[in-house]
Amino acid sequence: MSEPTTKGLFDRGISEGFVQALNALPNDSWWRRLLGHEKIFVAIRDEKLNAYYKGCSLAEIAFENGEITARTHYKYLIRPVVASPYLTAVDGKFSFPDEWRGDHVFSPSFDHLDQIMRAADRFAGKEKSFVGTIVKNNPNTLDVEIAMTAAFVEEDSEDETLSALRIDIAALVEREDALELMMYEAKDFTNRKSLRSSTEAPVIGQVQGYEAILADYNDQLVRSYRQVAENLASLVGIPEPRAKWAAKVARAKNFRVSNLPTLIICGLDEDQKRGKHWGRHYERLEQGLGAHRIIARGSADGVRLT
């Protein structure tokens, strides 16, 4: 795979002007609420940011013509709870009750962030909810939802067929000789299509495909994630544990990106892992990837990215 001559697959980073404009927003602004929320992860893209909650992009933030804008999918703005979700049609025409109007149905701003998050819960799914908890518990996470194909342009795409082309987590690990960025792909153990096979489970081929891409673009990854870390360290209001990890990257003499992703299996405890029904499938995964590249936990709270 040849190195791109224009925009690269893994370009990351925002301009100093963008950083300054964000830092100039008031402490009680919608932006600071997003950045500082313990369950929301702000990821830096190529001159954009995405605010993720359980894998759902609640906002794509841009800096255009000197103005900060935030774009979101309308489905996250629909009130998650109303007195009655049903409408009645008379002569084929639906009428909206008075209590549905105005502020009762839609969340008109990020002042209603909790309700936006509740609306997003419906679209998260078990795997993404599991990942969201892992990210919250591991401040060494540097990125999430990492696009793995040049054809995948929209970082906040809601197309589920494209979500398989993103690796879930990139987290920093301190080694004796370097600071290393590791990639993690998460699968729920009920995902039979990906994890089970009488020969080789499809997830093995998926992870091996990621290996090839990570190897081909490694120099670009190292360069881009250094820029991401510098941006994060410069943002006012970023949670302190994450800021400390970003600062480590910015000052690290030896920083590298691993080409070998780790598979995280969600909801699989020790008894299931070696049990009658799952044991043989787990052994095939170990044969394909190596036991040291698989993390299987019954609960997301038990996952430590170290």
Confidence class for position 153, pLDDT limits 50, 70, 90: very low
Q: What's the mean pLDDT in 47-59?
A: 95
Helices (H) and strands (E) in the chain, counts: 11, 12
Confidence class for position 163, pLDDT limits 50, 70, 90: very low
Q: What's the token pair of residue 79?
A: 């009130």
User: Taking 80 as the threshold, does the pLDDT of residue 1 lie above it?
Assistant: no
Dist CA 57 CA 128 (whole Å): 12
| Mean pLDDT for the chain overall | 88
Confidence class for position 102, pLDDT limits 50, 70, 90: low
Considering only CA atoms, which of 194, 200, 120 is closest in space to residue 158?
A: 120
> How far is C-alpha 196 from the chain's CA centre?
25
**Degrees to nearest 5, angle at CA 8 with 207 and 244:** 75
Confidence class for position 5, pLDDT limits 50, 70, 90: very low
Dist CA 133 CA 299 (whole Å): 9
Dist CA 119 CA 116 (whole Å): 5
First to last CA, the chain: 30
- What contacts 241, CB < 8 A, 6 or more positions away? 139
Dist CA 66 CA 234 (whole Å): 19
pLDDT for 154: 45
Neighbours of 15 (CB within 10 A): 11
Dist CA 12 CA 91 (whole Å): 54
For 255-304, the pLDDT digits (tens) are 999 999 999 999 887 777 777 778 888 899 999 999 999 999 999 999 99
How, if at all, do strands 48-53 and 67-71 pair? Answer: unpaired
User: Taking 70 as the threshold, does the pLDDT of residue 104 lie above it?
Assistant: no
For 61-88, the pLDDT digits (tens) are 999 999 999 999 999 988 777 777 788 8
Q: What CA–CA distances, in Å, run from 173 to 10, 12, 142, 196, 245?
A: 20, 20, 11, 29, 10
pLDDT for 277: 75
pLDDT for 257: 97
* Sequence-ordered strand ranges (E) for 54-133: 56-64, 67-71, 89-90, 93-94
How, if at all, do strands 255-257 and 179-188 pair? Answer: parallel
